[in-house]
Amino acid sequence: MSYNFKETMNKPERLAPGHRMCAGCGGTIAVRNVLRGLHEGDKAVIGNATGCLEVSTFTYPYTAWEDSYIHNAFENAGATLSGVEGAYKVLRKKGKLDETYKFITFGGDGGTYDIGFQSLSGAMERNQDLVYVCYDNGAYMNTGIQRSSATPMYADTTTTPVGSQSNGKPQNRKDLASIIAAHDVPYVAQTTFVQNFKDLHMKSEKAIYTPGAAFLNIMAPCPRGWRYNTPDIMEICKLGVETCYWPLFEVVEGKWILNYEPKKKLPVEDFLRPQGRFKHLFKKGNEYLLEAFQKEVDRRWEDLQFRCSR
């Protein structure tokens, strides 16, 4: 697939302005750029798990979606779009529909890693011809920043608050991309907003046009939940990648591919420092927490390198 930045960026917006997402929201950036993966002329049905994205883009009687769109509930975006895709197959078979449709569903990490996990797993295992996109901001942001299984260790959330007996979330985040890869689907990728979006645009197009089930995990920072200076989102994403906290990789037909290796891997504290949710890690006496965090990042990075070297 050839890639032309200008052409991609000049595609008509499929999420119209005027929705009510926060200024600087990573979720919206993810959606707009994933939809640039669609070829012009192709139609799409967009699915959506309950969350910020849904309540802010489809508040009756307004919709920001240029394509057909369905929100059902919190935990069933995978199953709902499976039904839509099933309808497409049968309507085509019966000669009631000629147009090409693509099926893309968006969920936050709460709706994807946690409550929608079973429905997602089912859709992936059945190899439904759809793309599930998780815009991962590492907590239940819509309900007010509660921890999810995507929340990184030590993050200060409203259900893992930092206190005299607490250093934030005690557990590590779930590695969902690996779990979906273990479903043996044709395409899994992890990305975020770096390299002028080339990585995200190319992976989106691949995910959308790979026959069968595809999963995209996109780190999509939330300025409210992460407590960084809102305009710094691109810098935050870059640090996520350069520290190897959020590596860019693909799993194509079971083959693990590392898409980017930093020339000089930065310490993870560079990624953590600008974020208010990790402020307590930089207090005197908490150096051991930073060490533990770094150790986990290193372990996962080495593991990924090993998988990609086979």
Partner 1 sequence: MAKRDRLSGNEAVAIALRQINPDVFPAFPITPSTEIPQYFASFVANGQVDTEFIPVESEHSSMSAAIGASAAGARSLTATSSCGLAYMWEELYIAASNRLPLALALVNRALSGPININCDHSDSMGARDAGWIQIYAENNQEAYDNMVQAYRISEHKDVRLPIMICQDGFITSHAVENIELLDDEEVKNFVGEYNPENYLLNPECPMAVGPYSITDYYMEAKRNQAEGMSNVSRVVLDVAKEFEGISGRKYGLFEEYCMEDAERAVVMIGSAAGTTKDAIDRLRAQGEKVGLIKIRLFRPFPAEEIAEALKNVKAVAIMDRAESYTNHGGPLGADVMAAMFRARSQALAVNYVYGLGGRDVRVEDMESVFEDLKKIVKDNDAGETYRYLGIRE
Contact residues toward partner 1 (CB under 8 A) are: 43, 45, 47, 54-55, 58-61, 63, 65-73, 75-76, 78-84, 86-91, 93-94, 97-99, 101, 118-119, 121-122, 125-126
Which residue lies nearer to partner 1 by CB, 33 or 119? Answer: 119
The SS3 assignment for 84 reads helix
**Pairwise CA distance, residues 47 & 62, whole Å:** 17
Which residue lies nearer to partner 1 by CB, 108 or 152? Answer: 108
Rounded to the nearest 5°, which phi and psi values hold at 204? -65, -45
Which residue lies nearer to partner 1 by CB, 80 or 137? Answer: 80
Instruction: Count Cα neighbours of 26 within 13 Å in the Cβ-side half-sphere.
Output: 35
Q: How far is the CB of 73 from partner 1 (least distance, A)?
A: 6
**Pairwise CA distance, residues 219 & 198, whole Å:** 15
Q: Which of 136, 154, 151, 159 is nearest to 52 (CA)?
A: 136
CA dihedral 216, 168, 237, 107 (to 10 degrees): 30
Q: How far is the CB of 223 from partner 1 (least distance, A)?
A: 22
Which residue lies nearer to partner 1 by CB, 97 or 308? Answer: 97
Which residue lies nearer to partner 1 by CB, 144 or 170? Answer: 144
Q: Which two tokens stand for residue 54?
A: 């849904």
Q: How far is the CB of 151 from partner 1 (least distance, A)?
A: 24
Q: How far is the CB of 301 from partner 1 (least distance, A)?
A: 32
Q: How far is the CB of 46 from partner 1 (least distance, A)?
A: 9
